[in-house]
Amino acid sequence: MNSMSGKVALVTGAGRGVGRATAIRLAREGVRVIVNDLDGAELESTVNTIQSMDGMATGFVGNVCEPEIADELIQFCLTTYNQVDIIVNNAGYIWNGAMHNHTDEQWQAMLEVHATAPFRILRAFSEWMRPVAKAEMAAEGRASCRKVVNVSSVSGTTGSATQIAYATGKAAVIGLTKTLAKEWGRYNVTVNAVAFGHIETRLTQVYDELPPAIDVMGRKHKVGLASSQIKAMEKAVPLGRPGTVDEAAGAIYLLCTPDADYITGEVLTCSGGA
């Protein structure tokens, strides 16, 4: 039997890209997955894909930036599967601009989705996790090993021009990760982060003339990279190419497995060596 069979994972931002690939990867290993996203249609597609391969998945449509969503998400996990073993804080988007063009709204939006939302979800998780872990320690001498993987970026570890708010949010989640690893070690919860480089998603799609845009809560955000930027980036990456969403999901998956039970407080860079 697979060592992860029967575990329960919550993956945010799982309608597309890395989140979707992560949910599918976990489900393939027998994990029961709660998938969350803003976009109900994309979320349903993820759920249907997992179910079509005989996996178990349930969708929860909602905006992780809404203050009440964190408690609702955790409660939904417990109502549906009665446990939470893995949390992957993946939801996010970009809102770029040079420092002199950044607004307070832009700054707060990036901090909200990349740092505050994971904080709220993990705070809600702790209300269930701590008493359960204490009961397990009293009965068995040790709590079950639970996992948290937060998604960061090389923008947060090394900085990135025109991404002052995004980079700050992604750096903040690293502080969250390292602090919780110290606080939650006594409960046998590992807390790690993956900092991604150039991964092929809709946020990094290639364009030649005008950049494409995505809609986030009614606001259009320019995304993508010019073909000239892609060529320069590929030269800077030792592997010579961007990563796929499946490769990105593999990095998250590594930290969710029992093989990573003694790894905590770490930031795994997944960037092709850039």
Per-residue model confidence (pLDDT) at position 211? 63
Per-residue model confidence (pLDDT) at position 234? 78
* Local confidence band at 235 (pLDDT 50, 70, 90 cut-offs): confident
- Tell me the backbone φ, ψ of residue 58, rounded to 5 degrees: -135, 135
Per-residue model confidence (pLDDT) at position 18? 97
What average pLDDT does this structure show over 145-162? 95
Q: Residue 218, Cβ neighbours under 10 Å: how many?
A: 5
Look at residue 227 and tell me whether its pLDDT is greater than 80: no
Look at residue 96 and tell me whether its pLDDT is greater than 80: yes
Helices (H), 29-163: 40-52, 69-81, 104-111, 117-140, 154-158
- Tell me the backbone φ, ψ of residue 160, rounded to 5 degrees: -155, 125
pLDDT digits 0-9 by tens, 203-223: 665 656 666 665 676 777 666
What average pLDDT does this structure show over 4-25? 97
Query: What is the spatial distance between Cα 52 and Cα 136, in angstroms, rounded to a whole number?
Result: 35
Look at residue 150 and tell me whether its pLDDT is greater than 80: yes
Query: What is the spatial distance between Cα 131 and Cα 59, in angstroms, rounded to a whole number?
Result: 27
Catalytic member of 81, 93, 166, 253: 166
Residue 4's alpha-carbon distances to 49, 88, 108, 258, 269, in angstroms, are 19, 15, 37, 8, 24
* Local confidence band at 200 (pLDDT 50, 70, 90 cut-offs): confident
Look at residue 3 and tell me whether its pLDDT is greater than 90: no
In the structure encoding, which two tokens stand for residue 134, read together? 């204490």
pLDDT digits 0-9 by tens, 241-272: 889 999 999 999 999 999 999 999 999 999 99
Look at residue 183 and tell me whether its pLDDT is greater than 80: yes
List the single range of 53-57, 144-148, 238-242 with lowest mean pLDDT. Answer: 238-242
- Tell me the backbone φ, ψ of residue 122, rounded to 5 degrees: -70, -30
What average pLDDT does this structure show over 13-22? 97
Per-residue model confidence (pLDDT) at position 260? 98
Whether 187 is a known active-site residue: answer no
- Tell me the backbone φ, ψ of residue 62, rounded to 5 degrees: 175, 155
What average pLDDT does this structure show over 74-99? 95
DSSP 155-214: HHHH--TTBHHHHHHHHHHHHHHHHHHHHHGGGTEEEEEEEE-SB-SGGG-EESSSPPEE
CATH superfamily of 8-201+246-269: NAD(P)-binding Rossmann-like Domain (3.40.50.720)
CB 42 within 8 A of CB 66: no
* Local confidence band at 141 (pLDDT 50, 70, 90 cut-offs): very high
- Strand 32-37 and strand 57-61: the pairing is parallel
Nearest to 270 by CA among 153, 148, 168, 163: 153
Per-residue model confidence (pLDDT) at position 224? 57
What spatial distance separates the first Cα and last Cα of the chain, rounded to whole Å?
37
Per-residue model confidence (pLDDT) at position 137? 97
Q: Measure the CA dihedral 114/117/121/127, to 10°.
A: 120
Angle at 4 between CA 6 and CA 179, to 5 degrees: 105
